[in-house]
Amino acid sequence: MKRGVCPGTFDPITSGHLDIIERAAGLLDELIVGVALSPDKGGGPLFGIEDRVAFVEGATTHLSNVSVRPFDTLLVDFAERESATAIIKGLRAMTDFEREFQMAALNWRLDSKVETMFIMAIPEYMYLSSSAVKEIARHGGSVRGLVPQHVAAALERTFGAR
């Protein structure tokens, strides 16, 4: 049984995240999407942990081997608790590389039994990030296609519809 965890803040989940989750789910028997509490990231997340988990759940109902759980521990401890042997991360432009390389090296140092694996973003989503999506929505731009529909609706409710 090959089980992996796919961690992130998912504030909110984007089409880029979802693409990585779908492709990872196709490679593994089970994938657990770990939604990090991340209270300090970028001045604090826009959406609370329950909303962020619900957004991922709503986007992954078509994937029977995917489940979603919040976590607030070291990633390797979360992986161990979920009996996962792989950490799956998406990799976008070069800017992701250094940070991800550092985290993979430190996680290996903390627990070498858990393997970090990277899936390349597809060109269409290479420059898509949660922060860019929030910036667009905050200024009244359309985020349709960049995030799942229910997330676009939540962003419109949060920032006011266009």
- Using CB under 6 A as the binding rule, whether residue 49 contacts ligand ADP is answered as no
- Using CB under 6 A as the binding rule, whether residue 60 contacts ligand ADP is answered as no
In the chain, the N- to C-terminal Cα span, in Å, equals 46
Q: What six digits make up the tokens of 29?
A: 């028997």
Q: What six digits make up the tokens of 108?
A: 């290996």
Closest CA relative to residue 5, chosen from 96, 70, 49, 50: 70
- Using CB under 6 A as the binding rule, whether residue 129 contacts ligand ADP is answered as yes
Q: Measured from the CB atom, is 45 or 161 closer to ligand ADP?
A: 45
Of the candidate residues 22, 80, 96, 115, the single one contacting ligand ADP (CB under 6 A): 96
| Total of chain residues touching ligand ADP, rule CB under 6 A | 17
Query: Is 153 in a helix, a strand, or coil?
Result: helix
Q: Return d(Cα 66, Cα 83) in angstroms, integer.
A: 14
Which residues, including other chains, have CB under 8 Å from residue 23's CB and lie 6 or more apart? 119
Q: Measured from the CB atom, is 63 or 91 closer to ligand ADP?
A: 91
Residue numbers annotated as active site = 17, 41, 92, 130
- Give the footprint of ligand ADP on this chain (CB under 6 A): 8-10, 14, 16-17, 20, 89-92, 96, 121, 125, 128-130
